[in-house]
């Protein structure tokens, strides 16, 4: 059987200043508009049956890089990845050398049953916001390490909304998603090597976090004022639990009464409630690690009031009560609370109360910072937050350490002075 024609992709040198972008955003202080699609990297791609006449190099800003244009599909590749599967059943075939955006869409479909719903949404948002607009049209075989690093630089400079800089943490997440997808592309036979595997990611010191990246948190007075103001709110126990434990939203909404011991004042975090596509699911925790948390007197009192209020709602609903999981936090008919509705209600509350406006997730940061201010060990804080590794806790809260160091030094100095004076 004759070998089908080999398709190769060549790069055309295009100065960035001559590009007519599909989208534009302001990227620097001079007001220069920088395109956000694949042309922002200064590469125009086209098909060439005759071969790569350009030598496989493209202009990217002021630098030159190889685009791998002489590469073609491997001879003898099957027409589909699965034996006996038709082209209609499997639209993405190795011989097509698909664009990155097309492959990422197909890759996401395969991962939908392998990831937690919230993680899958995060992957989808990262791909849609940062990867497809810039590299979506580039064939897989054209990707190389320098192109990917150029993308990271662009995202850091103007990858955020309205051309604002993107945080190194967000770019690191984009790198993780891209690296994982291209790793699977190697396993699928679409690439020989993963070009993102050795790409240099943005380097930053967590202690030098810019103020825009610094999680907004409340001090102890602000947190106490908020809890006082919401004492008559229907979800008051939820707000007390958020400040008093630092649990994630899904973990609080997935808390069951069988996991609450009010006598011992402990709760067990072992499930997380998630809602995707109108379907509510009770899953394991984000890190698949259960943890037992002590709760304070105020949190325990709020939970006791919540149990009494829930019993009243159950009695009023009668046969219409529909609590199949025994959840602590339910709607009027016993059904689980909608996570997004909870977020919207918190957003409304902080805007009408006399407190700094923060996100619901920032109550988690508030809990951690208040513990650290009280001298709690970083290991304890990490365990209460349910972090997989203490390094994650250090990265998030290392900026608080200089203040804690000063306080600890002052306390030590005072203790030494007192000891030297001796008893009165």
SS3 readout for 156-198: HHHCCHHHCCCCHHHHHHHHHHHHHHHHHHHHCCCCCCCCCCC
Whole-number pLDDT of residue 401: 62
The alpha carbon of residue 167 and the mean position of all alpha carbons in its chain are separated, in whole angstroms, by: 12
Phi, psi of 382 (to 5 degrees): -60, -40
Q: Burial, 158: exposed, middle or buried (Cβ in 10 Å; 0-12, 13-18, 19+)?
A: buried
Whole-number pLDDT of residue 407: 67
Whole-number pLDDT of residue 396: 75
Enter the tokens of residue 267. 């709760």
d(CA 407, CA 375): 9
Q: For the segment 90-123, what is each residue's pLDDT rounded down to a tens digit?
A: 444 544 689 999 999 999 999 888 887 778 888 9
Q: For the segment 288-335, what is each residue's pLDDT rounded down to a tens digit?
A: 778 999 999 999 999 999 999 999 999 999 999 998 899 999 999 999
Q: What is the CA radius of gyration of the chain?
A: 27
Highest mean pLDDT among 9-13, 53-57, 120-124: 120-124
Whole-number pLDDT of residue 226: 96
Whole-number pLDDT of residue 270: 92
- Name all domains of the chain by residue range, CATH numbers in brackets: 8-71+96-204 (1.10.150.130), 220-398 (1.10.443.10)
Do residues 171 and 155 lie in contact, with contact meaning Cβ atoms separated by under 8 Å? Answer: yes
- Is the model's pLDDT at 82 over the cut of 50? no
pTM for this entry: 0.59
Q: For the segment 189-241, what is each residue's pLDDT rounded down to a tens digit?
A: 999 999 999 898 766 544 444 434 445 889 999 999 999 999 999 999 999 99
- Is the model's pLDDT at 40 over the cut of 50? no
Q: What percentage of the chain carries pLDDT values higher than 70?
A: 70
- Is the model's pLDDT at 19 over the cut of 90? no
Band (281; pLDDT cuts 50, 70, 90): confident
Q: How many residues does the chain have?
A: 424
- Is the model's pLDDT at 72 over the cut of 60? no
């Amino acid at each position: 059987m004759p070998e089908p024609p080999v398709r190769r992709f060549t790069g055309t040198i295009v100065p960035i200043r001559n590009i007519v972008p599909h989208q534009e955003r302001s990227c620097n202080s001079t007001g220069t508009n920088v395109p956000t699609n694949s042309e922002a990297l200064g590469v125009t791609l086209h098909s060439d049956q005759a071969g790569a006449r350009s030598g496989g190099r493209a202009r990217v800003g002021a630098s030159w890089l190889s685009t791998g244009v002489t590469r073609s599909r491997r001879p003898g590749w099957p027409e589909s990845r699965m034996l006996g599967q038709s082209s209609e059943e499997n639209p993405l075939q190795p011989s097509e050398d698909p664009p990155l955006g097309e492959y990422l869409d197909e890759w996401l479909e395969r991962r939908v049953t392998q990831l937690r719903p919230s993680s899958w949404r995060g992957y989808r948002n990262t791909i849609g916001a940062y990867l497809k607009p810039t590299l979506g049209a580039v064939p897989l075989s054209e990707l190389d390490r320098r192109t990917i690093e150029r993308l990271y630089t662009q995202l850091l400079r103007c990858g955020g909304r309205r051309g604002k800089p993107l945080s190194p943490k967000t770019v690191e997440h984009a790198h993780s998603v891209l690296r994982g997808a291209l790793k699977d592309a190697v396993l699928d036979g679409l690439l020989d090597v993963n070009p993102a595997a050795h790409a240099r990611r943005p380097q930053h010191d967590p202690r030098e976090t810019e103020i825009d990246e610094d999680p907004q948190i409340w001090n102890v007075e602000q947190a106490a004022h908020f809890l006082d103001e919401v004492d008559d709110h229907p979800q008051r126990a939820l707000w007390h639990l958020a400040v008093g434990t630092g649990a994630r939203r899904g973990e609080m909404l997935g808390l069951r009464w069988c996991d609450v011991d009010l006598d011992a004042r402990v709760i067990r975090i072992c499930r997380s409630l998630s809602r995707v596509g109108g379907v509510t699911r009770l899953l394991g925790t984000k890190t698949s690690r259960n943890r037992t948390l002590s709760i304070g007197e105020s949190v325990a009192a709020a939970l006791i009031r919540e149990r009494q209020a829930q019993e009243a709602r159950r009695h009023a609903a009668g046969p219409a009560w529909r609590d199949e999981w025994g959840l602590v936090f339910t709607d009027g008919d016993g059904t689980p609370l909608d996570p997004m509705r909870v977020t919207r209600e918190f957003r409304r509350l902080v805007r009408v109360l006399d407190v700094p406006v923060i996100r619901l997730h920032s109550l988690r940061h508030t809990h951690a910072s208040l513990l650290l201010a009280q001298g709690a060990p970083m290991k304890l804080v990490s365990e209460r937050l349910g972090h997989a590794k203490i390094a994650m806790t250090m990265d998030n809260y290392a900026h608080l350490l200089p203040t804690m160091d000063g306080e600890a030094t002052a306390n030590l100095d005072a203790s030494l002075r007192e000891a030297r004076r001796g008893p009165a």
